[in-house]
Structures are given as C-alpha cells and as structure tokens.
Amino acid sequence: MGPEAAAGWEVTVPAGGTRVDGVQVAEFRDRLGTGLDMRVVPQPVVTVVLGFADDMLTVEHPGGSRTLGSLVAAPFPGRARVRGTRVDCVELHLSLPVASSLLGVAPYELDGTVADLEHVWGPEAGRLREQLSAAGTGARRFALLDEFLAGRCARNARAPAVDPEVAAGWERIVRGRGRVRVADLAASCGWSRKRLWSRFNAQLGLTPKRAAMLVRFDHAVAALRAGKDPVEAAASCGYVDQSHLHRDVVAFAGCTPGELAGATGAAAVDEGKHG
C-alpha cells in the first residue's frame, strides 16, 4: 500500500529483514512534499501503517473520511483512498498465517475495512508510534520495531495457531503466483476439499479459491504498474485473456486496468514475497 519510490520519496528497508517470519517492513519519507494520493487495492497481506504525526493520513471511504495517525487494512479493504502530505511512516505487510499472532485478531475480523490501528492494538499503537518517531530513521527505528513484533508474538503464543496444512497451502498458493488448483491443494495435505475450504476460511478469512485469485491479482497489479499493457499482464499472470483480467480488476479494485496502472502508489515490498 506504500507509495511508489518516485522522485521525492525516500524508501528504506531493514538490511537483515525481521526476526518474525512472514513480516516485511519499509520506511517511507516524503522528502519534497510530493504528497500521497492512492487508491487502496486488495493485497494478499494485512497492511499496517504507523505514521509519525496524529493527522498524517486521511482515509476516504464512500461514506466519508477520517484522519488517522496509524491504520490497519484487511486483504480486501473495501473502496478507499489514502491521502497525506509530508508523510513519514513505517509500513508492515503481515502474511495471513502470522497476522493473528501479531494483531491479536483474526484477519476475517478486519474484512472490508481500513481501520484505526488503535482500535486493534489499543494505546500500545500510540506508544509505539511515539517511540519510533523519537528513534529517528533507519536502523534504530527498525530495531525497535523488530523488538516490538517479537514481543507481540511471544505474548500471543497461546493464540489459536494456523493449521500446518493451511500454512503449507497458503505458501503453495504464493509460490505458484495463484496458479494452483484447489483439488491439488487438498490432495497435498490429505484433506477433503470441503475441510480445506472450511479451515482456510476460518483461519485466514479467505477460501482457497479466493486466496489464489487474490495472489494472482496482486501479481497483475505489479505487472500493470511496471508498464505492461493489459494483454501482456493477463498472459504473464495466468489469466485466460484480457477480458478475464479486466473482470477481476473491476471486481477487486473497482476500476479498469488502465486506471489501476496509473494510480499513485504501489506495493512497498518485493513482488511475490507474501508467504
């Protein structure tokens, strides 16, 4: 969900990654006051943004708008835009199998929302923002965030875990860029399709089919924003044809492929690393 590394934006990622598997982190700083105005599109992650000013981010929904210092977005966040000026923030992408242990709520409880992070983490979100802001940029900020995430995982160790079969199925969907048959997933873990469907939906908030569609769509978004035309993007991302891609983009993002390609803002993390 983070802004594209265009002129005026400084984007930093931790050199050694994070200690917590399934988490990617990036820091964004609008050095020249370029401003942020981006359509929020579905992604196969839960996105957390920690801004360093109380009124840094304005989230606009069809029903109105609100100003936030931090936010959390579900994989399917609904129709929303995020705007801001002089944005300085840290963004986290949480893989669905680890999201519950870090958030304290299951991904399905966030479905269809871009919410205030304090509604999920309580006062802890505000304290973390203050600490990160005081730490400055770069390595110190990342080290503090890494410690925080490791602590949340430890405190939530007794939370209901994702079944190994579900985690393995998710990883297979990600590795296959969404080109996976549900029957093959079920066969690989020795479950019936009905059981796989039920456990995926209960633990990740998505059915296996919808998870595969979302991962494929995420790659198509990256292809479109990288300059591929819809025909190329459809062919390279496993769609039957351009019309198939067009239908998914309209259904998932509420716009055409051309509009999506021209939208301000792109994923902050490397393509295809949501497992």
Residue 49: DSSP 8-state: E
Is it the case that residue 269 has pLDDT exceeding 90?
no
160 pLDDT band, cuts 50/70/90, is low
Q: Could you report the per-residue pLDDT of 162-215, keeping only the tens digit for each? A: 899 999 999 999 999 999 999 999 999 999 999 999 999 999 989 999 999 999
Is it the case that residue 161 has pLDDT exceeding 80?
no
Q: How far is Cα 241 from Cα 247, in angstroms, rounded to an integer?
A: 10
**For residue 104, what are the contacts with CB-CB under 8 A and spacing of at least 6?**
120, 121, 152, 156, 159
Task: Indicate the SS3 state at residue 178.
Answer: coil
Q: What is the pLDDT of residue 275?
A: 58
The amino acid present at 70, given as its one-letter code, is: S
Q: How far is Cα 134 from Cα 11, in angstroms, rounded to an integer?
A: 19
- Nearest partner of 183 among 163, 169, 167, judged by Cα: 169
For the chain, count helices (H), then strands (E).
Answer: 11, 10
Which pair of structure tokens corresponds to residue 127? Answer: 């304290």
Sheet containing strand 23-30, edge to edge, reads 9-12, 23-30, 88-95, 45-51, 70-73, 114-116
Q: Could you report the per-residue pLDDT of 73-124, keeping only the tens digit for each? A: 999 998 889 999 889 999 999 999 999 889 888 887 886 789 899 999 999 9
Domains and CATH numbers, the chain: 9-155 (2.60.120.10), 164-261 (1.10.10.60)
Q: Could you report the per-residue pLDDT of 21-58, keeping only the tens digit for each? A: 899 999 999 888 888 888 899 999 999 999 988 888 99
